[in-house]
Structure 1
Amino acid sequence: MMMAENALKLGEPGFAGDDHVLPFQVEGLDVRGRAVQLGPMLDGILGRHDYPAPVARLLAEAITLTVLLGTSLKFEGKLIVQTKGDGPVDLLVADFAAPENVRAYARFDQAALDAAIAAGATEPHELLGKGILAFTIDQGAHTQRYQGIVPLDGHTLEEIAGVYFRQSEQIPTKVRLGVAELYDRDAAGKARHRWRAGGMVAQFLPQAPERMRQADLPGGDGEEAGHKIADDDNWAEAKAMVETIDADELTDPNVGTERLLFRLFHERGVRVYQPQQVFDRCSCSREKLKGVLSGLSAEEIAHTADDKGEIAVTCEFCSTTYRFEAAEVLPQ
């Protein structure tokens, strides 16, 4: 992760606030990373779909992870984080379009989800089931997509993302994710419900690459790693600090990302950089969807149109419905 040059020591003016990703560097530990608290942006995405709470929590974690990683992109393009599994929540998609736009949705089987909730099986690994977590980087036309895939082999998205970094990036990385529901009252005294999430990605990036070596991963089926390598002392200390974070600290608006970083790393010389705001913005448009429909045959269009000769298309991400007259999209 590259850092901007305009670093601030903690304590100087310029606190990030909600929906701003905050890059940081811990000079004394050779650690760089990003931290974030998501509020209105996340609440807008989840509230639009009115997901059941277990589904909303899963998608909130996926969004937080995507925002943390997507804001490190140094080019115009997309990062897509996606899970596919055989559990009640068979699909999560979070899409970050650099430099700042986020959209996401979840797909689930209501009957299977109800059965899982009734049985108390609402942990992430129980809802996702067996499958994959995929990270896709798309730099646009005339470029080849990069995709990294790891199995859904872990109890949480934190653990699964850690496996991805270990296998694909080969950089010592620690991921923390947290989600919370807040119940309070607005300025008029009306009760309200809001979603919040927070997260942190910390990476060990010393000047000497050989210090980044890690123990082999187990080969599976109970096989132990071939040999063990002790963590570099700096990384062991940084990782232990990050592991002490409570989920409540990640999401508490009274703590904030700067205060959390100060609590963890102030003795080691932590610096923060200019925060980057992220927005709940979908890339769908009437023109794009019209282009897709125009590629259908006259028979397909006739089959899709309703009794009034209209075609309604709803975006899975933002739930916006676009309506077209069949005549608008018929092949010329």
Structure 2
Amino acid sequence: MISEIPDDNVLPFQVEGLDVRGRVVRLGPTIHAVLARHDYPAPVSKILGEAVALTVLLGTSLKIEGRFQLQTKTDGALDMVVVDFRAPDSMRAYARFDADRVAADAEAGVDLLGKGHLAMTVDPGGDMNRYQGIVPLAGEGLEAAAHEYFQQSEQIPTFVRLAVAEAFEANEEERGLKWRAGGFLVQFLPAAGESVRRDLPPGDVPDGIELPETEEDEGWNEAQILAGTIEDHELIDPMISSEDLLYRLFHERGVRVFETQPVREECTCSRDRILGMLRGFPDEDRRDMVGDDGVITVTCEFCSETYVVTPAEAELEDS
């Protein structure tokens, strides 16, 4: 009997011989719940799934009890993607798109995200300041944008792979196509004094001065080559565990894995939050929200939960 490989988790790892650390994420029921609930077109589901995998890879690495949010804003058919991760293990996500443009652009092979920017925000909560990194999106996808983010904002050599697809699942409860997502992130983080980073120039260089050509660290170069062999199916195949994947990549160097971190989908909306939001609007705006049926109807963009609020609950005068 084949044992079931657990899904919806992140596995941190370290390859000491190459001075690299990283994480592998596997998403099954969690990502399917997000994508199936909204019945997104397949091309939209793929990009949103990639965004979720990337957010989880980054969010679970934070040593805080706050939030990490990924958001795109572009001129594409898929003009907005939002993924909200709350430490230590919960996330929610949604996408905004023009259905007609998505169908036409997908058929023509046009990038759905278009041009715009990708923002990644760390909110530690409390009195601590938020930190935000912004990188351009120019039709090269989220993997390329993630590389640009780490190059500009974090200045850490980083390699990212993302994969999303539907896979046929057959079990006692249900059969059919289910969305799956996977992600792989590896970073060059040498111990102090043992290696130096050689792929960035040392600060501003005066005009007329040319720097000698430099080479990347040999260990980091090897890690990138190995990581570049990862295929999509290896990240989403329910029969390939994260441990198996890491062994395939780094068994000659020796790879150390740490405790897996669970991931779950959880929306933070509630009736109290909705009421608080509505009561923050001026009376006139709240009156405009009242429908022909005499109530205010609010649907959460993340989880699709619908809340019906009476004018009295919204504290409208003369209600």
Q: Tell me the TM-score normalized by structure 1.
A: 0.87
Check if 1:327 corresponds to 2:312. yes
Quote the residue 2:183 is aligned against: 199
Correspondence 1:279 to 2:268: no
Q: Determine the structure 2 residue equivalent to 1:97.
A: 86
Aligned residue in 2 for 1:294: 279
Q: Residues 16 and 258 of structure 1 are in contact (CA less than 8 Å); yes or no, is this contact kept in structure 2?
A: no
SS in structure 1 opposite 2:7? coil
CA distance in 2, matches of 1:112, 1:227: 48
> Unmatched 5+ residue regions in structure 1?
1-14, 217-224
Would you say the 8 A contact 1:95–1:102 is kept in 2?
yes
Q: Do the aligned partners of 1:24 and 1:34 also contact (CA within 8 Å) in 2?
A: yes
Cα 1:187–1:226 shift into 2, 3 Å: farther
Instruction: Provide the rounded CA distance (Å) in 2 between the counterparts of 1:98 and 1:323.
Output: 30
Partner of 2:42: 53
Asked if 1:157 is matched to 2:142, the reply is yes
Residue 216 of structure 2 corresponds to 231
What is the root-mean-square deviation in Å for CA atoms of aligned residues?
Answer: 1.9
Cα deviation, 1:94-129, whole Å, max 9, x if unaligned, reads 1100011110000001121122133233xxxx1111
Partner of 1:112: 101
Judging changes above 3 Å, is the alpha-carbon distance between structure 1 residues 205 and 153 closer, same or farther for their aligned structure 2 residues?
Answer: same
> How many equivalent pairs are there?
305
Indicate the percent of aligned positions where both proteins have the same amino acid.
Answer: 52
Letter in 1 for 2:89: E
Q: Which runs of 5+ in 2 are unaligned?
A: 202-209
Deviating above 3 A after TM superposition, structure 1's stretches of 4 or more consecutive aligned residues are 225-228
Q: Structure 1 pair 18/228, CA: closer, same or farther in 2 (3 Å)?
A: farther
By how many angstroms is 1:145 displaced? 1.3
C-alpha separation in 2, matches of 1:256 and 1:280: 21
2:106/2:112 contact within 8 Å kept: no
In the superposition, the TM-score normalised over structure 2's length comes to 0.91
**Does the 8 A contact of 1:165 with 1:172 survive in 2?**
yes
Partners of 1:307 and 1:92 in 2: CA distance? 31
Question: 3-state DSSP class of the match of 2:199?
Answer: coil
Report what 2:237 is aligned to. Answer: 252
Contact 1:215 1:228 in 2 (8 A): no
Q: Is 2:163 aligned against 1:178?
A: yes
